[in-house]
Amino acid sequence: MSRAPFARRLLTVAGVDRLGAYLVLRVEDPDGPQPEPGQFAMLAAEERWGGGEGERPYLPRAFSVARQRGGEAHFLLEDVGPGSRRLCELGTGERLWTLGPLGRGFTAPPSGRRAILVGGGVGIAPLAILQDRLQEEATVLLGFRDGARAEGAALLEQARVATDDGSRGHHGLVTDLLAQEVERDPLAVVYACGPAPMLEGVRAMCAASSVPAQLALEAGMACGFGACFGCVVPCRGGGYLRICVDGPVIDAAELDHVDAHAGAPA
């Protein structure tokens, strides 16, 4: 596990690229620790973000590291509310506070076993850095609501796409594609991140066919480092896990179900 320095760092935006309905925020970070796939950072714009006078956003927001290369950290953004909108407004040369890398990431598959990456919507972000780091070729299955969002698939290589509205690829759910793959190769290992219903579909399918699955969960977070106990999901055997320190990547076997609040923005 790569660990964050005990201080927020003020980093500079190197550039912003449009990717259909999403933005890729590229941040200069030549000296930061190397994140592991699945780890995240807490982000807040330097200006017009809390501080007592503004209303929301006030707390930093969690974002998966989508990529780290060439001295830059990349984040995939979707405008779903005041915090993500403010980050989407950032331009080259502006600065943002970052705290990270935080949390536990994905564990590589045992050698010889195929990785199947399953992403939904903006939840595809941590799968990009995972694909970058995997030694062997992985199968990539991505689901999106519509065609504009499906352009996000370009973040990964050789992705098969499903869309809810049929505008691109398979007309239906990404879990339909996963069902075929799991049937073909029951020795595969599944890595998933996306909205809660998708993650629950992946969990149930993998449990039924005894395929190991690692799920990158999301939840509203105030701190990102275990301080507030706000980001919990119910776990198998009762009690709760803190997504920020026990996750965000959690072995599906630790869950009886994926909580309705524990997924990426739908």
Partner 1 sequence: MSVSFCGLELAHPILNGSGTFDAIAANKAFADDLRDAFPFAAYVSKTITLEPRAGNPPPRLWEAAAGLINSIGLPNKGLQGYLAEDLPQLAGLTTVREPGAEPQTVPLITNVMGSTAHEFSALVEACETREEIAALELNVSCPNVKTGLDIGADPLQLEQLVRAVRPLTRKPLIIKLTPNTADVAACAQGAQEGGADAVSLINTLRAMSLTPVDPSGPAGGRAWLGGRTGGLSGPAIRAVALAQVAAVAARVAVPVIGMGGVQSGAHARELLDVGATLVAVGTESFRDPAAGARIARELGDPARGEAAPSEESAR
Ligand X SMILES: Cc1cc2nc3c(=O)[nH]c(=O)nc-3n(C[C@H](O)[C@H](O)[C@H](O)COP(=O)(O)OP(=O)(O)OC[C@H]3O[C@@H](n4cnc5c(N)ncnc54)[C@H](O)[C@@H]3O)c2cc1C
Residue 248 CB, nearest approach to ligand X (Å) = 4
Strand, helix or coil for residue 201: helix
Binding letters toward ligand FES, positions 118-157, x by CB under 6 A:
----------------------------------------
77 touches, from ligand X, ligand FES, partner 1, none (C-beta below 5 to 8 Å by class): ligand X
Taking the C-alpha atoms of residue 209 and residue 78, their distance in angstroms, rounded to an integer, is 33
Residue 245 CB, nearest approach to partner 1 (Å) = 5
* 35 is an interface residue for ligand X by CB under 6 A: no
Taking the C-alpha atoms of residue 227 and residue 242, their distance in angstroms, rounded to an integer, is 10
CB-nearest residue to ligand X: 81
Which residues, at least 6 apart from 111, have a Cβ–Cβ distance to it below 8 Å? 135, 136
Q: Which helix (H) or strand (E) holds 167?
A: none
Q: Which of residues 20-49 bind partner 1 (CB under 8 A)?
A: 33, 44, 46
- Name 63's bridge partners: 41
* 86 is an interface residue for ligand FES by CB under 6 A: no
162 touches, from partner 1, ligand X, ligand FES, none (C-beta below 5 to 8 Å by class): none
* 59 is an interface residue for partner 1 by CB under 8 A: yes
Q: What pairing do the DSSP bridges indicate for beta strands 213-216 and 249-251?
A: antiparallel
CA 142-19-8 angle, to 5 degrees, is 95
* 228 is an interface residue for partner 1 by CB under 8 A: yes
Left (φ > 0), alpha (ψ -120 to 50) or beta: where does 242 sit?
Answer: beta
* Two tokens, residue 257: 């179900």
Residue 23 CB, nearest approach to partner 1 (Å) = 18
Strand, helix or coil for residue 225: coil
Contact, 71 vs 29, CB < 8 A? yes
Q: Which of residues 69-98 bind partner 1 (CB under 8 A)?
A: 80-81, 95, 97
Distance of CA 145 to the CA centre of its chain: 17
User: Binding residue for ligand FES (CB under 6 A) from 199, 244, 255, 258?
Assistant: 244
* 70 is an interface residue for ligand FES by CB under 6 A: no
Q: Which residues bind partner 1 (CB under 8 A)?
A: 3-11, 33, 44, 46, 50-60, 80-81, 95, 97, 99, 102, 219-223, 225-234, 238-240, 242, 244-245, 259, 261-262
